[in-house]
A and B are shown apart, each in its own frame.
Chain A
Amino acid sequence: MSDEAHRPAEAPADLESAPPTDAARRSFIKGMGIAAVVGGVALAAGESALSALGTHIQSGTAGHPENRFVMVIDLAQCDGCKKCTDACNKEHFVPPGQEWIKVYTVDDGFGGKYSLPRPCQMCENPPCRNVCPTGASFVNKDGLALIDQSICIGCRYCLAACPYSARYFNWTEPPHAPEELGHTNTPEEPWPHKKGVVEKCMFCVHRRAEGKLPACVDGCPMGAIYFGDAAEDAVTNGQGETLPLRKTLSQNAAYRLREDLGTGPSVYYLPPRGRL
């Protein structure tokens, strides 16, 4: 590709016919003109060549392509206590002002209300990754949308693109807990938190290595949040209750947020039926 970009810089044939004094100026003018037009192309070529390099930065994100992690949230069980948010904040030293799993109170339109916890939806076709100019937002081999904070430039295009308001930005240097300081920031364990970069829920990818469920799942006293691998067709909540995934989704008429957008979220909601 870079060869192609250089080719037009060769002097066109008619240049030779110009008088010597003019040649210098003309070639300069032409050179500048070509530089203006071709500059962008060369840049593009260089970029795509270099973008391959970007993948090396995202170290330690090995996963298995057959994995497809899903979360099932039973809205009928959720009482809106926000213990999931607390557990998440503690687990990841989440900077103040951010709620990686945020609990919304929804008016059901019939005089009632229900609570809706919103983690990252871990889209199969994530808009955040699609718009990211540097590849800092990427999808690892497990199919999880993660952030490489070492190359994020903080443009916040992903915040504009995310249809679930699931992304947060460190507007200033976050306060640091003593435990997070000795740690190395990786996409799976993004702490100590950094100023000027983007953050979000990462489905507790780091806890899986220890065989643990995500912090919010473990932290939910109602057992409303289930986590599992769609390939195994099973999800488990913090109480150790395991459900068959497909049957549960089908029988409860599960839905996903803004399904019409085609983002393919990995978070399924069971409708808030039969709540008090």
Chain B
Amino acid sequence: MAEPQEDLDPQAKHILTPVVRSGWLFFAVVGLLGGVFLFANLAWIRQLDEGLVVTGLNDRISWGLYISGFIYFIGISYGGTMVSAILRLTNTEWRRPITRVAEASTAAALMVAMVFPLFDLGRPERILNLVRFGRIESPLIWDFISIGTYLAGSVLFLYLALIPDFALMDKVLPKRVRFRRVLYRVFKMRWEGTPAQHAKLERALFAISIIIIPIAVSAHTVLSWMFGMTTRTGWHSSIFGPYFVGAALFSGIAIVVVAMAVFRRAHHLEDIITEFHFKKMANILLVFSLAYLYFTLSEYLTIIFQPSSDEQALMRLLIDGPLAPYFWFTTVSLVLVTFLLAFKPTRTIRWITFAAVLLNISLWLKRLIIVVPSMAVPLVPGDVVATYTPTWVEWAITAGSFAAFGLIFAVFSKLFPMVAIWEIREGAHATSAPQAAPGGTAPVRAGGKGGA
């Protein structure tokens, strides 16, 4: 197999190698994920054929794993926005090696999320009725618009930051990868790397970093309003907007940490993404962890103190009902994660990654216990608490969506480097004299001109 050629510095060469070279582990992982993905497709075909009767949903609890999965994937898409946009705007130098992973995570998560509503619709073939007959008064249409805008903005963000690397790859990748080189040539947009072009790219990235933040905040706020605008206990709460946005940032940054750990290992980036970066991310996670605990306390305490029978029924369901194990797992793990992130002995790459994985499990469950218990509460006099047990079809489709997320990442890793080479070069350039052979030096820390 040919290596990236030309007069590349060793570090860039090192980062680019996995784009053209795949080890057995890559194929093993893709095979495994592909298997899960195919199985999920079979489950979906069955669901399309028989109808949603193959799920555990019913007339009382009519939303379940699909809707909570939708919220979860929109949520984890926030990681890229946070890391890339906010850290770029604040000229935070240590962002450089992880922006690409973060932006890719946003794009991948949104691509998966956009498919989720199709799983849940009784008539997925009529999805375009949202455009043909859309009623702007419906919060679901607000969702459709804000999430669509957010997806477009995120893809643009990922793409803009890729242009210099496309140009680099067009130049240095072996002739063998002919198809991809055509893509690179088209998408590099005649990038020559001139100072004028650099200045313009920086300006564009600065602009999109600013624009994407309100768009992202609106996407999850509006999603929370889909619930908040109903009369249901537990949903009808003004904390829902900030709560959803907080949870989204929290899980989104955690998924970036997981992706950092995966690609650090898989692409041998140990010298580029270091413990230093994990600790910085742990700091951000810690802030969100505390904020999230605060939101959670505010949410449940106001419910507990309401003598209303609806609120009491909801609280009993949470602490003592069929979903109570999820509630307690979520609550305890959030506290545990806070401690793991705060204290020195567990501020290592391994533990921070563990905390990030745990966080994603617990925030996925959290979405489930937001959606389901509020629908289980009886509304009509004499009615009973409703129950919902997801079926294998729902679990298979959910597993398939995680597999799809991984597969999109796998495709990304063959299309472009998982570390933005130009951003690192620019950072190194700004810090000191051009490094002759960086290959494996300390991460770029402070100083230098970043964003715009």
A interface residue numbers (CB < 8 A to B): 19, 21-22, 24-26, 28-29, 32-33, 35-37, 39-40, 43-44, 46-48, 50-51, 53-54, 57, 97-98, 102, 104-107, 116, 118, 127, 130-136, 151-157, 159-161, 163-165, 167-173, 195-198, 257-258, 261, 263
Q: Does the CB pair B144–A133 fall under 8 Å?
A: yes
The minimal Cβ–Cβ distance linking A50 to chain B, given in whole angstroms, is 6
A135 and B136 alpha carbons, distance in the complex (Å): 10
Note all chain A residues with C-beta closer than 8 A to B136: 44, 47-48, 51
Closest residue of B by beta carbon distance from A55: B133
Q: If A47-B136, A160-B230, A160-B232 touch, does A154 touch B122 (CB 8 Å cutoff)?
A: yes
A167 and B62 alpha carbons, distance in the complex (Å): 10
Q: Is B120 an interface residue (CB 8 A)?
A: yes
Within 8 Å by CB of B379, from A43, A133, A164, lies A164
The 9 A-B pairs with the shortest beta carbon distances in the complex, nearest first, are A154-B122, A196-B122, A104-B382, A47-B134, A106-B382, A172-B51, A172-B53, A36-B152, A171-B53
A135 and B194 alpha carbons, distance in the complex (Å): 54
Note all chain A residues with C-beta closer than 8 A to B55: 171
Q: Does the CB pair B231–A163 fall under 8 Å?
A: yes
Q: A33-B156, A156-B62 are in contact. List 14 more A-B contacts (CB 8 A).
A: A33-B204, A48-B136, A127-B230, A130-B137, A133-B141, A136-B129, A160-B227, A165-B60, A171-B53, A172-B53, A173-B51, A196-B123, A257-B380, A263-B231
Q: Is B127 an interface residue (CB 8 A)?
A: yes
Q: If A133-B135, A152-B123 touch, does A165 touch B230 (CB 8 Å cutoff)?
A: no
Closest residue of B by beta carbon distance from A132: B138
Note all chain A residues with C-beta closer than 8 A to B231: 127, 161, 163, 261, 263
Note all chain A residues with C-beta closer than 8 A to B229: 131
Within 8 Å by CB of A160, from B63, B160, B204, B207, lies B63
Encoded as 1 (CB less than 8 Å from any A CB) or 0, chain B from 40 to 60 comes to 000000000011110101111
Closest residue of A by beta carbon distance from B235: A160
Q: Is B436 an interface residue (CB 8 A)?
A: no
B interface residue numbers (CB < 8 A to A): 50-53, 55, 57-60, 62-63, 117, 120-124, 126-127, 129-141, 144-146, 148-149, 152-153, 156, 160, 189-190, 196-197, 200, 204, 207-208, 211, 215, 226-227, 229-232, 375, 379-383
A35 and B121 alpha carbons, distance in the complex (Å): 28
A251 and B137 alpha carbons, distance in the complex (Å): 40
Note all chain A residues with C-beta closer than 8 A to B226: 157
A210 and B162 alpha carbons, distance in the complex (Å): 69
Note all chain B residues with C-beta closer than 8 A to A118: 380
Closest residue of B by beta carbon distance from A171: B53
Closest residue of B by beta carbon distance from A159: B62
Q: What would be 7 A-B contacts, judged by CB atoms less than 8 Å apart? A: A33-B156, A57-B133, A133-B130, A155-B120, A159-B62, A163-B232, A196-B52
Q: Does the CB pair A33–B211 fall under 8 Å?
A: yes
Q: If A26-B200, A169-B122 touch, does A33 touch B145 (CB 8 Å cutoff)?
A: no
Note all chain B residues with C-beta closer than 8 A to A263: 231
Closest residue of A by beta carbon distance from B218: A40
Note all chain B residues with C-beta closer than 8 A to A157: 138, 140, 226
A182 and B80 alpha carbons, distance in the complex (Å): 55
Note all chain B residues with C-beta closer than 8 A to A104: 380-383
Q: Does the CB pair A33–B207 fall under 8 Å?
A: yes
Note all chain B residues with C-beta closer than 8 A to A135: 133, 135
Q: Does the CB pair A40–B123 fall under 8 Å?
A: no
Closest residue of B by beta carbon distance from A52: B133
Q: How many A-B residue pairs have CB under 8 A?
A: 199
A43 and B427 alpha carbons, distance in the complex (Å): 40
A148 and B368 alpha carbons, distance in the complex (Å): 31
Q: Does the CB pair A54–B51 fall under 8 Å?
A: no
Note all chain A residues with C-beta closer than 8 A to B207: 33
Q: Does the CB pair A39–B375 fall under 8 Å?
A: no
Q: Does the CB pair B126–A106 fall under 8 Å?
A: no
Note all chain B residues with C-beta closer than 8 A to A161: 230-231
A196 and B123 alpha carbons, distance in the complex (Å): 5
A40 and B230 alpha carbons, distance in the complex (Å): 24
Note all chain A residues with C-beta closer than 8 A to B381: 104, 106, 116, 257
Closest residue of B by beta carbon distance from A35: B152
Q: Does the CB pair A156–B122 fall under 8 Å?
A: yes
Q: Does the CB pair B121–A154 fall under 8 Å?
A: yes
Q: If A50-B133, A152-B123 touch, does A195 touch B148 (CB 8 Å cutoff)?
A: no
The minimal Cβ–Cβ distance linking A191 to chain B, given in whole angstroms, is 17
Note all chain A residues with C-beta closer than 8 A to B375: 160
A99 and B94 alpha carbons, distance in the complex (Å): 61
Note all chain A residues with C-beta closer than 8 A to B132: 50, 53-54, 134, 151
A36 and B215 alpha carbons, distance in the complex (Å): 10
The minimal Cβ–Cβ distance linking A136 to chain B, given in whole angstroms, is 8
Note all chain A residues with C-beta closer than 8 A to B190: 21, 24-25
Q: Does the CB pair A22–B200 fall under 8 Å?
A: yes
The minimal Cβ–Cβ distance linking B43 to chain A, given in whole angstroms, is 16
Q: Does the CB pair B59–A47 fall under 8 Å?
A: no
Note all chain A residues with C-beta closer than 8 A to B51: 170-173, 195-196
Closest residue of B by beta carbon distance from A168: B59
Q: Does the CB pair B122–A131 fall under 8 Å?
A: no
* Chain B CB within 10 Å, residue with most, of A36, A47, A163: A36
The minimal Cβ–Cβ distance linking A91 to chain B, given in whole angstroms, is 20
A22 and B379 alpha carbons, distance in the complex (Å): 62
Closest residue of A by beta carbon distance from B381: A106
Q: Does the CB pair B230–A195 fall under 8 Å?
A: no
Q: Does the CB pair B133–A151 fall under 8 Å?
A: yes
Note all chain B residues with C-beta closer than 8 A to A257: 380-381
A118 and B380 alpha carbons, distance in the complex (Å): 8
Note all chain A residues with C-beta closer than 8 A to B58: 171
